Structure 1
Amino acid sequence: MRASREQVAANREAIVVSAGQQFRKRGFDDVTIADVMKAAGLTHGGFYGYFDSKEALAAAVCERGVADSVAAVDAVAAQGKEGRGPDTESLLQQFVEDYVSARHRDGPEDGCSVAALAYDAGRSSAEIQRILASGIKGMAESLSHLRELDAPGRGPGAEPDFATLCTMIGALALSRAVAEADPRLSDTIIEAARAHIETSV
């Protein structure tokens, strides 16, 4: 019996969600199609009814992930500055404190795809790198928008804030790299990055 169009769409969504979580946590190479399909509650053999290859799935995951990462910054910007007093934490600080955090460090499967998949993308196809590049540019532009909202006199047309983005992602990568072996150093990296960005707000 053929699955309905709605069921096909639901199955594909389950595969993308499952793969996204596992890729962010373990990387592209360490996750098999069988792993993805099992976690999605589907049979291994059914994979090719949805994607031509693991590479195609990785591209779909990256597309979804970078869109979600940019949307997360834009969601903070959407709050605007209404009702915010002079002593209220800036929008940029608000986002950075959530992003550069122990929670995000310890939960890559539910976090930012740009940070979690940057290393894998560097060893992947040009298509996946193109997708990640769009996310990097989008996040940098959205961070710049947060700065504009925090300081309206700065004026429109500011350059994308790559420096803050690099600090955020670098801090996550380094803190994850040593989290198990040296938890104190891992926490110090997070605190130092947050303090550094705060001085630039």
Structure 2
Amino acid sequence: MRVSREQVTANREQIVVNAAEQFRRRGFGDVTIADVMKAAGLTHGGFYGYFDSKQALEAAVCERGLAESVAAVDAVRDGEGGEGTAAEAPLRRFVDDYVSARHRDAPEEGCTVAALACDAGRSGPELQQLFVSGITGMAGSLAGLRGQGSAEPAEDGGPDFATLSTMVGAVILSRAVAAADPELSERILAAARERASAPVE
């Protein structure tokens, strides 16, 4: 039976959504095509009707996820995102939401950079180029947040890589020790929240 163009589009979307959740939770290497297709409710053999390779799926997932991460910073800048009150400085609001136990404990729902940066480091230049764009975009948007509220703009007026690195690194490190030493995990998050939202000296 021939599948309609609309159904093909819907199936591809389902594959990307399910792959994104599994990749962010388990990494590229621990997720198979069969895992993704089963979660999407599709047959393993049908995968190549949607993607040429697993690497192509990884790229599609990262491209979308990185764009969503940049958009999340922009939403806070525009007063639409974050869980804090409107009176809080936008940067503080975003940092508190990002560098949180909730984000640490649910990588499948969180930022692609924090979940898959290490995988990207082991991938080829094509996928890494997506991270170049995503990381630069996030850092640029963070610099914009520093221009609002009580925080200071990035010192050189460019992308705020220092704040982004602090936030992403804290989430990664807190995940690395959460099961073995929950108290240390919380300390890492708390220290990074203070550092990332502090005014530039």
Q: TM-score range by the shorter chain?
A: over 0.9
Determine the C-alpha separation between the residues in 2 that align with 1:199 and 1:65.
27
Corresponding letter in the other structure for 2:32: T
Residue 7 (structure 1) aligned with residue 7 (structure 2): yes
Determine the C-alpha separation between the residues in 2 that align with 1:63 and 1:26.
18
Residues 63-116 of structure 1, C-alpha deviations (whole Å, 9 max, x = no match): 001000000000111118xxxx9x931000000000000000000001000111
Determine the C-alpha separation between the residues in 2 that align with 1:191 and 1:153.
21
Matches within 5 A, 1:125-136: 125-136=124-135
Residue 36 (structure 1) aligned with residue 36 (structure 2): yes
* Residue 115 of structure 1: aligned partner: 114
Unaligned runs of 5+ in 1: none
* Residue 190 of structure 2: aligned partner: 191
* Residue 89 of structure 2: aligned partner: 90
Residue 144 (structure 1) aligned with residue 172 (structure 2): no
Residue 124 (structure 1) aligned with residue 123 (structure 2): yes
Question: Which secondary structure state, in structure 1, belongs to the residue aligned with residue 133 of structure 2?
Answer: helix
Residue 48 (structure 1) aligned with residue 48 (structure 2): yes
Structure 1 residues 107, 153: closer, same or farther in 2, change over 3 A? Answer: closer
Contact 2:69–2:111 (CA<8 Å) still a contact in 1?
yes
Residue 65 (structure 1) aligned with residue 100 (structure 2): no
* Residue 181 of structure 1: aligned partner: 180
Structure 2 length-normalised TM = 0.92
- Taking only the aligned residue pairs, the percentage that are identical comes to 66
Determine the C-alpha separation between the residues in 2 that align with 1:161 and 1:68.
18
Corresponding letter in the other structure for 1:26: R
Corresponding letter in the other structure for 1:67: A
Determine the C-alpha separation between the residues in 2 that align with 1:142 and 1:199.
17
Contact 2:136–2:159 (CA<8 Å) still a contact in 1?
yes
Residue 75 (structure 1) aligned with residue 96 (structure 2): no
Superposition RMSD in Å? 2.0
Unaligned runs of 5+ in 2: none
Structure 1 runs of 4+ with >3 Å offset: 151-155
Corresponding letter in the other structure for 1:101: S
* Residue 170 of structure 2: aligned partner: 171
Determine the C-alpha separation between the residues in 1 that align with 2:150 and 2:193.
19
Structure 1 length-normalised TM = 0.92
Determine the C-alpha separation between the residues in 1 that align with 2:16 and 2:115.
16
* Residue 99 of structure 1: aligned partner: 98
Determine the C-alpha separation between the residues in 2 that align with 1:126 and 1:152.
35
Determine the C-alpha separation between the residues in 2 that align with 1:197 and 1:58.
30
Residues 13-64 of structure 1, C-alpha deviations (whole Å, 9 max, x = no match): 0000000000000000000000000001111010000000000000000100
Corresponding letter in the other structure for 1:27: G
Q: How many residues align?
A: 195
